[in-house]
Amino acid sequence: MKLIDTHCHLDNEKYDIDRKEIIEKISKTMEFVVNIGYDFESSKRSIELAQKNSNIYATVGVHPTEIGDNFSNENYMELKEMLLNEKVVALGEIGLDYHWMTKTKEIQKNWFRKQMELARELKKPVVIHTREAIKDTIDILKEFKDIYGVIHCYPGSYESATEIIDNYYFGVGGVSTFKNSKTTVEFIRQIPLERIVIETDSPYLTPEPFRGKRNLPEYVEYVVEKIASIKEIDVETVIAITNENAKKLYKIGEK
């Protein structure tokens, strides 16, 4: 069964030397990957990659460390136009990042809410980034009860997850394989497989045994193995169910 990477950044400069080879390999060995935009430029690059390759899909959005001061009408129009592209499957990654704090909490919340409103207008799922901001993130997500999506690289507890479990999938990636990943391992044990999607966040967060090196979408294999061992089920079941989840999330391959 072929694997899916629901969150990667193949437009990153770390792939400039061998992007073509990597994408060729993906087209032969993987079902599809979703390339995630994090600002206006990367969103454009994401669409370009998706238009050239049938098994790459794109998302567009502005990450909380990449936002400006005000969310302008121009920003809105630019995002909206990109979101109408047929290979764009979601709005994101958007959210809150209180670790880097590049902008104040208020500015971050404003961009987050404005982009959530755009997702509502265009009926798109959202890809959420949250770092050291779980409570505020969940509070804002709960304001938008008609929106669904994925919390990428979910850092919280199962208990927090239950607050939004009806609308959200939870992205599990390389962190689950790290030696100090107690919270994530406990989370995986408790969350139903039906709410998990697999991701790499390539080129970041490389799983064991390659931790520290450049990440690749094909390394979802190690994440799948880790989940199978934590949940004491076979790898094929993990792939079958999480692939199904990924297709539902991004509405890919539905009739």
Residues that bind Zn ion in the complex, under the rule CB under 5 A: 201
Name the minimum Å distance from CB 199 to Zn ion.
Answer: 8
Q: Point out the residue whose Cβ comes nearest to Zn ion.
A: 201
CB of 36 to Zn ion, least distance (A): 5
Task: Using the minimum distance from each CB to Zn ion, give the nearer residue, 12 or 177.
Answer: 12
Return the number of the residue (178 or 231) whose C-beta is nearest Zn ion: 178
Nearer CB in complex with Zn ion: 77/171: 171
- Name the minimum Å distance from CB 11 to Zn ion: 11
Nearer CB in complex with Zn ion: 181/235:
181
- Nearest approach in angstroms of CB 105 to Zn ion is 21
Residue in 38, 37, 55 with CA at minimum distance from that of residue 46 = 37
